[in-house]
Chain A
Amino acid sequence: MLDSPPPTAVRRRLRQGRDRLATALITAGGIGVIAALLAIGLFLAVEVVPLFWPSGEASAISPEALWSGGEAAEDASRHRWAPTATLAPDETPRISLAPLAWGTLEAAAWALVIAVPLALGAAAHSSLFMSRRLRSRLKPTLELMEALPGVVVGFVAGLVLAPWVERHLAEVAAALLLLVPGPLLAGGLWSRLPAPWREALPLGWAGLWLVPWLALVLAASVWLAPWLEAVAFDGDLRRFLELRLGLDIAVRNALIVGAAMGFAVMPSVYALAEDALSGVPSSLAEGAQALGATRWQTFWKVVLPAASPGIFSAVMIGAGRAVGETMIVLMASGNAALMTLNPLDGLRSLAATIAIELPEAGPGGVHYQLLLLAALALFVFTFLVNTLAELVRTRLRRRYRRLGGGA
């Protein structure tokens, strides 16, 4: 029933044809992606042009107004985003993008502060110390975490977590205070345990036996919270912060956004960093240990530098996602266009502003063009971050290639 195999010349020509077709398709795809990217940038730029060089009687907007809200603006209304405000004729428009850019960066910074140490620590532990069986369970679980849609994370953070934290401020503060020394204490205790105990609690399974320890630490923080509040904060943490330190406390604040977005960013940072660390050839680590280096020295001096290009790009991809993330910030931040350093205040990001306001801004109006300008700023920013990441990564990779490092 089968056809007789065609002669080799025909087969070769067939294969060449297929290869050429595949090459053409892939090239076309690549060019298409680049063209689409350029077209998006160009579209945004063209739509924004009338803001600065208007054609009709409308007045041009000065870059100064976009930054500080106008030079004449008094202190209270500098850095304001109120694009739809009706203005008296002598007033400067309140269209400063500064609070939005600030909010975007603040949210991303908090997300990275929370996600990067946890993700990198987890990656280092799981690639070097964790038992293989536990790791094979852990990785898919973390990947599942990444598949959680941003809307769901934002919803839980904004509507469940934020009010809960507001009601239990002291407990959360105590938990934050204890969560860093808790595991350190566990490590110190572990190294002083008698040998048979240490065998029963192997380092590779620390991920499991630390869970009850962490639960204990959390229980201790709940138990300690009233005492902490009474001793250090005059009996009421919220009132202490508001009256003594003059801090505003918003229910949906930068820390909630940071925690939620950190949760969303963590899995991808972890996955990339873990791949980079596991990709370091084992001959390197074995050689170092054969020369008498401890595990820690091997990790710190050999494996980490060799994997640094991959780890760097992992962090940068996390930063890119945190800057562009929309739904989590929109739902968890309260969208107050503030410029403060207080992590308990609300914030407002460029992406969330575009999402909320664009549907109701009339196309062609000043507000619409301002929102497109915000989109352009976001586009340029992520473009720059990614380009920078790629440049640094290739440079690092070149430097460490002598070590034989991968990634």
Chain B
Amino acid sequence: MSAVPFRRPLLWLLLIACCVPLFQVQSQAQADDRDSGEAIVGTLGTMGSDTMAGLMLRWGEALARRHPGIRLQLQASGSASAPPALVAGTTRLGPMSRPMSEVERRAFVARHGYPPRELTVARDALVVVVHRHNPLAGLGRRELDAVFSDTQRCGAPAAIRDWQALGLDWPEGRIRLHGRNAASGTQALFRRVALCGGLFRPAINEHPGSAAVVAAVAEDPRAIGYAGLNHLTPGVKALAHRDDDGTLRAPDPEAVRRGEYALSRELYLYLNLPPGEALPPPERAFLDLVLSPAGQAIVEELGFVALPEAQRRRQRRALSLADGG
């Protein structure tokens, strides 16, 4: 036997050096935990929206720093996957980027006997984007409908297919449309708000993610598309929305928070909680984080819009979480 374990002292030194910060983090986390009383141990399973995947992940990380005993298991395969998982009881937390439909809610009630608890955890907005050199400033709802649909349910007199019909000299030629795929919450919201529930023109390019929409628009001066607010890049310009009275509303966080920007939406967390029962400790710790200023700071960091202060406090009280936390 010639294998001596300490044959390469330098390598071992490196390894140990790498481990030291780990130990430090560990002990710090334990210190935090000691502050908040007894340790909470458990696994939180969540299933739902892929728009909110990054958000859930960051909240999970922050939660693991606060309570090292809690693990968050994340499955993000679309908002539509949350209700079946909640009904079947495989998860107690379902993030969704749209409100539950009546059918989904009924299925939940039929199985559990009480409605799911709905929490608003963040705000988001859709932005209509064009190429960064496009001179267009903003579009109203009728124009959006005329550009994106061929049903014109919002009352536009005719479809708009050329940039010239929008009063521009450049870019010239046909407008090329980009958007999200059917079945995404983003597409459903845009169709409901901007198209008055009509049909998209079949020539629209459907992309499997908002980032792909933005990338496609950034490379083509004749393109227009819609995407989630948090996917904006310097390659594209976000158009303002013209209200019916003619004022332009840029999609800035303040306008979204106040609900002045028409294409905004709320992001939800659905909870399987029997009425009158207290939250189990892991869920309680998670929601405490999500509805805390630190949790809302994560929301802002990821490009979404934090909840208005009053709404945040109201929801904390409804869950009987300690105020201010």
A356-B77 Cα distance, complex, nearest whole Å: 11
A355-B126 Cα distance, complex, nearest whole Å: 24
CB <8 Å contact, B208 and A356: yes
Q: Which residues of A contact B81 (CB under 8 A)?
A: 359-360, 362
**Across the two chains, which residue of chain A brings its CB closest to B206?**
A335
**Residues of chain A from 107 to 146 with CB closer than 8 A to chain B in the complex:** none
Q: Which residues of B contact A84 (CB under 8 A)?
A: 182-183, 187-188
**Does B216 count as interface, using CB distance less than 8 angstroms?**
yes
The segment from A13-21, A201-209, A244-252 that touches chain B is A244-252
Interface residues on A, range: 35 or more
CB <8 Å contact, A360 and B77: yes
CB <8 Å contact, A250 and B205: yes
**Across the two chains, which residue of chain A brings its CB closest to B172?**
A239
Q: How far is the CB of B74 from chain A (nearest CB, A)?
A: 15
Q: Which residues of B contact A94 (CB under 8 A)?
A: 199
Q: Which residues of A contact B172 (CB under 8 A)?
A: 239
CB <8 Å contact, A359 and B182: no
The A contact surface, by secondary structure, is loop
Q: Which residues of A contact B187 (CB under 8 A)?
A: 84
**Residues of chain A from 161 to 182 with CB closer than 8 A to chain B in the complex:** 163, 166
**Does A1 count as interface, using CB distance less than 8 angstroms?**
no
Q: How far is the CB of A236 from chain B (nearest CB, A)?
A: 10
**Does A242 count as interface, using CB distance less than 8 angstroms?**
yes
CB <8 Å contact, B220 and A166: yes
CB <8 Å contact, A338 and B181: no
**Does A149 count as interface, using CB distance less than 8 angstroms?**
no
Q: Which residues of A contact B197 (CB under 8 A)?
A: 85-86
A119-B130 Cα distance, complex, nearest whole Å: 41
**Does A82 count as interface, using CB distance less than 8 angstroms?**
yes
**Does B295 count as interface, using CB distance less than 8 angstroms?**
no
Against A, the Cβ 8 Å flags (1 = close, 0 = not) of B220-242 are: 10010000000000000000000
CB <8 Å contact, A86 and B173: no
**Does B321 count as interface, using CB distance less than 8 angstroms?**
no
Of B150, B207, B220, which one neighbours A76 at CB under 8 angstroms?
B150
CB <8 Å contact, A335 and B181: yes
A252-B207 Cα distance, complex, nearest whole Å: 12
**Does B204 count as interface, using CB distance less than 8 angstroms?**
yes
CB <8 Å contact, B205 and A361: no
CB <8 Å contact, A336 and B202: yes
Q: Which residues of A contact B150 (CB under 8 A)?
A: 76-77
Q: How far is the CB of A150 from chain B (nearest CB, A)?
A: 15
> With contacts A82-B182, A85-B191, A238-B173 known, is A336 near B220, CB below 8 A?
no
**Does A234 count as interface, using CB distance less than 8 angstroms?**
no
**Across the two chains, which residue of chain B brings its CB closest to A99?**
B202
CB <8 Å contact, B199 and A356: no
A250-B222 Cα distance, complex, nearest whole Å: 10
**Does B251 count as interface, using CB distance less than 8 angstroms?**
no
Q: Which residues of B contact A355 (CB under 8 A)?
A: 208
A86-B208 Cα distance, complex, nearest whole Å: 21
Q: Which residues of B contact A188 (CB under 8 A)?
A: none
CB <8 Å contact, B176 and A359: no
A94-B199 Cα distance, complex, nearest whole Å: 9
**Across the two chains, which residue of chain B brings its CB closest to A338?**
B202
**Does B84 count as interface, using CB distance less than 8 angstroms?**
yes
A111-B84 Cα distance, complex, nearest whole Å: 40
CB <8 Å contact, B220 and A163: yes
CB <8 Å contact, B205 and A252: yes
Against B, the Cβ 8 Å flags (1 = close, 0 = not) of A66-109 are: 00000000001100111111100000001000010000000000
**Residues of chain B from 64 to 96 with CB closer than 8 A to chain A in the complex:** 77-81, 83-84
CB <8 Å contact, B199 and A85: yes
**Does A316 count as interface, using CB distance less than 8 angstroms?**
no
Q: Which residues of B contact A229 (CB under 8 A)?
A: none
Q: How far is the CB of B11 from chain A (nearest CB, A)?
A: 36
CB <8 Å contact, B182 and A163: no
> With contacts A336-B204, A359-B78 known, is A251 near B216, CB below 8 A?
yes
Q: How far is the CB of B181 from chain A (nearest CB, A)?
A: 4
Q: How far is the CB of A357 from chain B (nearest CB, A)?
A: 5
CB <8 Å contact, A346 and B173: no
**Does A311 count as interface, using CB distance less than 8 angstroms?**
no
A81-B199 Cα distance, complex, nearest whole Å: 10
CB <8 Å contact, A345 and B203: yes
**Across the two chains, which residue of chain A brings its CB closest to B49?**
A360
**Does A280 count as interface, using CB distance less than 8 angstroms?**
no
> With contacts A242-B173, A251-B216, A356-B181 known, is A338 near B203, CB below 8 A?
yes
Q: Which residues of A contact B216 (CB under 8 A)?
A: 251-252, 334
Q: How far is the CB of B238 from chain A (nearest CB, A)?
A: 21
CB <8 Å contact, A330 and B202: no
A346-B177 Cα distance, complex, nearest whole Å: 11
**Does B200 count as interface, using CB distance less than 8 angstroms?**
yes
**Does A348 count as interface, using CB distance less than 8 angstroms?**
yes
Against B, the Cβ 8 Å flags (1 = close, 0 = not) of A336-356 are: 111000000110100000011
**Does A219 count as interface, using CB distance less than 8 angstroms?**
no
A85-B200 Cα distance, complex, nearest whole Å: 9
**Does A363 count as interface, using CB distance less than 8 angstroms?**
yes
Q: How far is the CB of A372 from chain B (nearest CB, A)?
A: 14
Against A, the Cβ 8 Å flags (1 = close, 0 = not) of B263-285 are: 00000000000000000000000
Q: Which residues of B contact A338 (CB under 8 A)?
A: 202-203
**Does A159 count as interface, using CB distance less than 8 angstroms?**
yes
**Does A367 count as interface, using CB distance less than 8 angstroms?**
yes
Q: Which residues of B contact A360 (CB under 8 A)?
A: 77-81, 181, 183-184
> With contacts A242-B173, A330-B208, A357-B183 known, is A80 near B199, CB below 8 A?
yes
CB <8 Å contact, B83 and A362: yes
A65-B138 Cα distance, complex, nearest whole Å: 38
8 further A-B contacts with Cβ under 8 Å, apart from A83-B183, A251-B223, A360-B77, are: A85-B199, A99-B202, A239-B172, A248-B203, A336-B204, A337-B202, A346-B203, A361-B80
Q: Which 3 A-B pairs have the closest CB atoms?
A: A360-B78, A334-B205, A360-B183
Q: Could you give 27 example pairs across A and B, Cβ below 8 Å?
A: A82-B199, A84-B187, A86-B191, A86-B197, A99-B202, A166-B220, A239-B172, A239-B173, A242-B173, A248-B203, A249-B174, A250-B176, A250-B205, A251-B176, A251-B216, A251-B223, A335-B181, A336-B204, A345-B203, A359-B78, A360-B77, A360-B78, A360-B80, A360-B81, A360-B183, A362-B80, A362-B83
Query: Which B residues fall within an 8 A CB radius of A?
Result: 77-81, 83-84, 104, 150-151, 172-174, 176, 181-184, 187-188, 191-192, 197, 199-200, 202-208, 215-216, 219-220, 223
